[in-house]
Every structure is written in structure tokens, then in C-alpha cells.
Amino acid sequence: MGRIDGSEPTTMAAFFDEYVRHVFPERRAQARAEWPWPGDEWADERLREATWLRIAGTGEPSRWTEIVEFGPGAGKYTAMALARTPAQVTAYEISSAFIEILEQRFAAEVSQGRLGIRKIDWADNEGLLRDYDCRIGSADVCFAIDVLMMMDFQSALVYLISAAAMLRRGGRFVATFADGGTVSGLDRMLRDVGRHSAFDAAPCTRFHWIDAPILSAILPRLGFGNLVIEHGPEGGLDIARLYLQAELVDPEAAARARRCLLPVGDSTNRRASDAVGR
Ligand SMILES: C[S@@+](CC[C@H](N)C(=O)[O-])C[C@H]1O[C@@H](n2cnc3c(N)ncnc32)[C@H](O)[C@@H]1O
């Protein structure tokens, strides 16, 4: 499932199954690290705690009764939610491999009814709310950490909208997005050009929404200057257009940027050897 010709995963779920079953064990062995769970390599203690502070906010976690998590992976934040609140946690995941790990790691909490692990279909826009059904409007918190950054914003809206429906009045939604407004985000954007054809072979015809700050920040890195970025005239087509006019002012930067086009060639997140510098 999830492969056209046996080479690369073609669905998000297959991508993560492969990561859990093959890529992570290799990475752990190479790094000689003692990461007990896949995904431990993505965040150290400091980052986990900083993230929890955002999830908790100024709320009162000790009074929460219901938490929803999208994309728990192996459950690093699920574990915090279970340990630091008395709430019942519902975790929605697409990857069978991650679900197997969650079931193993949190067997006690599952049998006590504290944790519900639910498999969802990425392509089913209403799947979350159909599953949450009679609890709609009751969650204290809904969070998605490092999940929505892996989909276009149009798709992320499905999760934002579902979260809004799941939450009670005053409930919190906490999520991370891929940040195109930072230097490290721009570095990663260029570094990942090589992954262009590595995962999703099917063209996507949805609009991928962006805004002027991202263009103004990234285009100079590709050699362009004298940018004119205009929000297009309204009316006519039901398309809001961002008009860009740019000049190539730095051919050296353009030449450097070409190196980003080298395909990385697999589904892992390997760093291109010579990504464009700042
Ligand atoms: C980068 S991992 C992050 C996992 C975990 N939140 C963490 O920070 O360790 C992304 C996770 O989201 C899951 N995922 C991706 N798309 C999803 C979706 N549409 N709905 C639910 N889970 C999804 C993946 O299977 C994976 O477990």
C-alpha cells in the first residue's frame, strides 16, 4: 500500500510508516544514540518543555478534562499530556507504524480509558469530526505539534476547522507551522528543494497560499532584487492574486541556488550537501 513501483512511499502515512520502520532505526544506529522512540531525535528536552509551555499557556492543565492531539507520532507530547493533566486524551494519527508504537508505549493508559488512539484517513476531510461526534464542543485543548507544517495550508485548514469545532468555548488550539519568516526557515526551504520529487509524485491542483513577506525574504536569496509585490485587483476571477515583479540582480546567488535543485532522491530528510548559504 502507498507505493506505485516499490521505490518511494506515495502517501503521507506510508512515508511515516517507512520512517518508523526503516529510517529511524538506521539513524539511531548511525548516531549511536539512545533514542527509545522514533521522533525523539526531533526535539531535545528544552524544545519539548518550551512546546509544553505553549500547549499549557496560561490555562489550568490540572482542570482539563479533554485533550485532542493531531499527529502524536510516538507520543512525546501525548506522554506529557497524560502525565501533567488528568484529562482524557484522544490522539489522531495516520501512520499504522506510529499507532503500533503508541499502543505499546501507552498500553496501561489505553486500558484505563485515559487515551484513545484513533486512526484517521488523511483524505477524509470530515473524518475527524465524524469520529469526535458527540464530544464536539467539549475539548479544553487541541494541539498539533510539527504536523501541519507537512501539508499545504489549504489542507491544514481542515485541521484548524476541525479543531475549532472540537473545542469548548475558551478552549485552546496550539500548533506549529513551517515558519517562512525566519532565517532557519528560509535555509530549510532552499535545502528541501531537492526533495521536490522524492515523495509526492502526483500534481496537486489546490492553491498553496502564501503572502508577500515570504516572497520578499526568499527572492533575494535566489538572486532577485527590485521586487514589486502587489496584492492583485479584486473582482473578475474568484482568485486573489499576488503579483510579483522582480529583477535578477545577483547572478552569483542564482548560480548558488541552482545547487538546491539536486534531487535528494529518497524519502528521508537528508541535508543536501551544499545547500545555499545565507
Ligand atoms: C513530524 S511527526 C511529529 C510527531 C509528534 N507530534 C512529535 O512532535 O514528535 C508528524 C506526525 O503527524 C502525523 N500526521 C501527518 N499528517 C497527519 C494528519 N493529516 N493527521 C494526523 N496525523 C498526521 C504523522 O504520521 C506523524 O506521526
The predicted model gives 169-195 an average pLDDT of 90
- What is the b/e burial string over 162-201, where b = at least 16 CB atoms within 10 angstroms of the residue's CB? bbeebbeeebbbbbeebebeeeebbebbbbbbbbeebbee
Identify the weakest region by mean pLDDT among 16-25, 145-154, 256-265: 256-265
Mutate to test the pocket of ligand 1, among 67, 147, 152 (most ligand atoms within 8 A of CB): 147
120 lines ligand 1 (CB under 6 A): yes
Instruction: Please give the full DSSP string across 19-67, using - where no structure is assigned.
Output: IIIIIHHHHHHHHT---SSTTGGG--HHHHHHHHHHHHTTS-GGG--EE
Residue 87 beta carbon below 6 angstroms from any ligand 1 atom: no
The closest residue, in CA terms, to atom 19 on ligand 1 is 122
| Local confidence band at 271 (pLDDT 50, 70, 90 cut-offs) | very low
Q: How far is the CA of 150 from the centre of ligand 1 (A)?
A: 8
Taking the C-alpha atoms of residue 213 and residue 232, their distance in angstroms, rounded to an integer, is 15
Please state the atom number of ligand 1 nearest to the C-alpha of residue 13. Answer: 25
Q: What is the pLDDT of residue 83?
A: 98
Q: Which residues pair with 174 in a beta bridge?
A: 143
Q: Where in the chain is the domain with CATH 3.40.50.150?
A: 12-175
pLDDT confidence bin for 277, thresholds 50/70/90 = very low
Centre of ligand 1 from the C-alpha of residue 250, in Å: 39
- Asked if residue 12 has its Cβ within 6 Å of ligand 1, the reply is yes
3-state helix, strand, coil in the chain (%, to 5): 45, 15, 40
Q: Is the predicted pLDDT of residue 276 greater than 50, yes or no?
A: no
**Average pLDDT over all residues of the chain:** 88
Judge if the beta carbon of residue 70 lies within 6 A of ligand 1.
yes
Residue 53 has pLDDT above 70, yes or no: yes
120 pLDDT above the threshold of 50: yes
38 touches ligand 1 (CB under 6 Å): no
Query: Is the pLDDT confidence value at 4 over 50?
Result: no
Shortest CA distance to 94 belongs to which of 55, 147, 132? Answer: 147
What letters, b where the CB count within 10 A reaches 16 and e where it falls short, cover 51-80? bbeebbeeeebeebebbbbbbbbbbbbbbb
- Ligand 1 centre to CA of 147 (Å) is 5
147 CB under 6 A from ligand 1?
yes
Mean pLDDT of 47-60: 93
For atom 26 of ligand 1, which residue has the closest CA?
73
Give the span between the Cα atoms of 194 and 208, in whole angstroms.
19
Query: Could you tell me if 256 and 277 are in contact, meaning their C-beta atoms sit under 8 angstroms apart?
Result: yes
pLDDT tens per residue, range 197-214:
666 666 677 788 889 999
What is the rounded CA–CA span in Å between residue 35 and residue 226? 48
Residue 37 has pLDDT above 70, yes or no: yes
- How many C-beta atoms surround the C-beta of residue 100 within 10 A? 15
Report the pLDDT value the prediction gives residue 236, as an integer from 0 to 100.
60
3-state DSSP assignment of residue 179: coil
Q: Which three cell numbers stand for residue 164?
A: 475549532
Calculate helix-pair angle for 45-56, 76-84, nearest 10 degrees: 50
Q: Tell whether ligand 1 has an atom less than 6 A from the beta carbon of residue 42.
A: yes
Q: What is the pLDDT of residue 261?
A: 78
For 178-192, what is the mean pLDDT? Answer: 89
> Side chain identity at 92, as an amino acid letter?
Y
219 pLDDT above the threshold of 70: yes
> Which candidate, 34, 28, 3, places its Cα nearest to that of 18?
3
| pLDDT digit string, tens, across residues 227-247 | 999 887 766 666 778 889 999
Q: How many whole angstroms from 225 Cα to the centroid of ligand 1?
A: 37
Q: What is the number of the ligand 1 atom nearest to the C-alpha of 122? A: 19
Atom of ligand 1 at shortest range from CA of 155? 19
Q: Is residue 160 over pLDDT 80?
A: yes
Which CATH number is associated with domain 12-175? 3.40.50.150
Give the whole-number percent of the chain exceeding pLDDT 90: 65
> Which residue's C-alpha comes closest to atom 12 of ligand 1?
71
Atom of ligand 1 nearest to the CA of 95: 25
Average confidence (pLDDT) over 58-77: 96
